[in-house]
Amino acid sequence: MTPTGTQPENAVIAGAIALRGGVRVFAPLIGTAEQPSVGLFTINERPLEEGRARFRVISGIPDIEGVVPTFTGGEALTPTLGFGDASEYAVLDTETYDLDVVDAVTGELLLSLPATLLAEGASTDIVLIGQVAAGSLTAFWRGWRWRS
């Protein structure tokens, strides 16, 4: 992986990845500029019922023991996620959800993700990135959808 427009010799991270035929994976760059890492996460392509959406949360936060994604003011969506961990996919009704990410040890709110839309028929990866110490936590989404 190289910064946009640069040559392979300027790679931030490099290596070979062996994939099985027919398997789709999501490979986000996580970690820090000093210690980058590539996560490899298999994408769930199974069809969903009408009105349903699938999502998971991936933690790319390197400077904390673990995080717990939750519904805002409510229950945990997943067990504790450490750096490089991904939750199992969950299937919910297609709608907009307010989500929070809390410190697994202290319970402190680290990041709010209001109005998170889970698109019908899609598998969505919500990737948490940044550092707690730097106050740079954020998230990005990637939705996957296939036609039969």
Q: Which residue has the tokens 């949360």?
A: 57
Identify whether the C-beta of residue 29 lies closer than 8 Å to the C-beta of residue 12.
yes
In this structure, the chain runs to a length of: 148
In this predicted structure, what is the pLDDT of residue 18? 67
Residue 86 and residue 148: Cα distance in Å, rounded? Answer: 26
pLDDT tens, residue order, the chain (148 aa):
666 677 777 766 666 666 777 778 888 888 888 888 888 898 888 899 999 999 999 999 999 999 999 999 888 999 999 999 999 999 999 999 999 999 999 999 999 999 999 999 999 999 999 999 999 999 999 888 765 4
In this predicted structure, what is the pLDDT of residue 100? 96
In this predicted structure, what is the pLDDT of residue 87? 96
Task: Tell me whether strands 109-117 and 96-103 are parallel, antiparallel or unpaired.
Answer: antiparallel
Give bridge partners of residue 112 from the DSSP assignment: 100
Q: Please report, for residues 1, 14, 100, 117, the alpha-carbon distance to residue 112 in angstroms, rounded to integers and kept in the order given.
A: 29, 33, 4, 14
Residue 55 burial (C-beta neighbours within 10 Å; 0-12, 13-18, 19+): buried
Residue 77 and residue 80: Cα distance in Å, rounded? Answer: 9
Identify whether the C-beta of residue 98 lies closer than 8 Å to the C-beta of residue 70.
no
b/e map 26-49, b = 16+ CB within 10 Å:
bebebbeeeeeebbebebbeeebe
